[in-house]
């Protein structure tokens, strides 16, 4: 077994060279095994690079070196910095926390807003999200991947509206996806557009506004 970081990277270099002759769609991997370890190392290096310097400074050679992976493997499997970011977003969606069930709609929406707030105000993850949003603004593949990430999160949280309707808190025809969008949208606006500081009061205000709109029927499914 490898005993040092250098030994581990040398082993990964050897393993990835063995796979370089196999064609692959950028970002696709076999479940589990050595290929999954390579993907994890590359995506961790990508996240580190995005947090440190943003999308436009993302360099495939540097990612390969940081991950201890052969450059040919990185280029073959991910193709470009865009491919790295798109796969990172898919991985982030897979790793996202499940929706909360606090027993009340207000509590569930507050939990969602708190999660968004914590992510955006985290020094590392906030920088990563700024980078991937910037990438999505200039590349269609990244835009589709970012859309997929948020679609997965909305689908995870949208059932809180159904539970709230079952408790009589809101109308049964409330569109849960639109309700959840209304919670996070003000936070992302401050984060990406106006670049204003974000705090708990902003999250609470977003929840109160979304809940009031839902109670008034603003999110009735069409």
SS3 220: strand
Are residues 105 and 163 in contact, defined by beta-carbon separation less than 8 angstroms? yes
Strand partners, 174: 220
Q: Which two tokens stand for residue 1?
A: 């077994």
Q: What is the rounded CA–CA span in Å between residue 180 and residue 45?
A: 31
Which pTM value belongs to this model? Answer: 0.80
CB atoms within 10 A of CB 117: 20
DSSP secondary-structure letter at 174? B
Closest CA to 17 of 75, 72, 76: 72
Q: What is the rounded CA–CA span in Å between residue 177 and residue 217?
A: 14
Q: pLDDT tens, 145-157? A: 999 999 999 999 9
Q: pLDDT tens, 175-204? A: 999 999 999 999 999 999 999 999 999 999
Residue spans of the chain under pLDDT 70: 1-32
Q: What is the pLDDT of residue 2?
A: 46
Q: What is the pLDDT of residue 14?
A: 45
Q: What is the rounded CA–CA span in Å between residue 171 and residue 191?
A: 31
Q: What is the pLDDT of residue 6?
A: 46
Q: What is the pLDDT of residue 138?
A: 87
Q: What is the pLDDT of residue 93?
A: 87
Q: What is the rounded CA–CA span in Å between residue 106 and residue 47?
A: 33
Q: What is the pLDDT of residue 7?
A: 47
């Amino acid at each position: 077994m490898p005993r040092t970081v250098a030994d581990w990277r040398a082993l990964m270099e050897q393993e990835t060279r063995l796979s370089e002759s196999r064609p692959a769609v950028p970002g696709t991997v076999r479940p589990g095994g050595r290929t999954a370890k390579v993907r994890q190392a590359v995506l961790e290096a990508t996240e580190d690079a995005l947090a440190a310097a943003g999308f436009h400074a993302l360099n495939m050679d540097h990612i390969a070196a940081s991950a201890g992976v052969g450059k040919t493997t990185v280029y073959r499997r991910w193709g470009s910095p865009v491919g790295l970011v798109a796969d990172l977003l898919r991985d982030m969606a897979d790793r996202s926390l499940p929706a909360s069930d606090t027993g009340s709609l207000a509590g569930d929406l507050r939990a969602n807003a708190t999660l968004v707030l914590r992510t955006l105000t985290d020094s590392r993850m906030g920088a990563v999200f700024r980078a991937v949003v910037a990438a999505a603004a200039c590349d269609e593949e990244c835009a589709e991947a970012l859309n997929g990430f948020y679609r997965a999160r909305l689908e995870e949280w949208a059932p809180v509206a159904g539970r709230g309707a079952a408790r009589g808190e809101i109308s049964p025809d409330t569109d849960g996806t639109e309700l959840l969008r209304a919670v996070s949208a003000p936070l992302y606006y401050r984060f990406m557009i106006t670049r204003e500081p974000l705090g708990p009061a902003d999250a609470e205000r977003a929840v109160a506004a979304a809940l009031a709109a839902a109670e008034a029927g603003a999110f009735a499914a069409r």
